[in-house]
Amino acid sequence: MNMETIVQRVSECNNVCTFTMRDLCDAIGRQRCTAQCCQTISDTLTEYGLGHWPPELRPDQSHKVRVYRIGTPVADMIGLVSRCTESSDEALRTMAELYSVFVVG
């Protein structure tokens, strides 16, 4: 797997897709997952216009990482969840109401 494959899969999955750290290490040409590798993955994803959750990557090849395209509604939602502010709370409540009306209801 390479970075172009990561970018393509994120696009095919409507701007969000989960990978293992092993996938991401492979994509940057690393065989072992180290702390340095984690920083390189984060920097490389950013260069490709991608973000990741959790914000702190772990050097564990089986660890799951959600990769998303920056500047999309998915990125906005991830940002809301990660910010602990009153305005983020209000936005999350509004989204939950809409979800219950349009998806559940």
Q: How many CB atoms neighbour CB 52 within 10 A?
A: 19
Can you give the pLDDT at residue 104? 66
pTM of the model: 0.87
pLDDT digits (tens, 9 = 90+) for 37-62: 999 999 999 999 999 999 999 999 99
Give the residue extent of every domain in the chain.
Answer: 1-70, 72-105
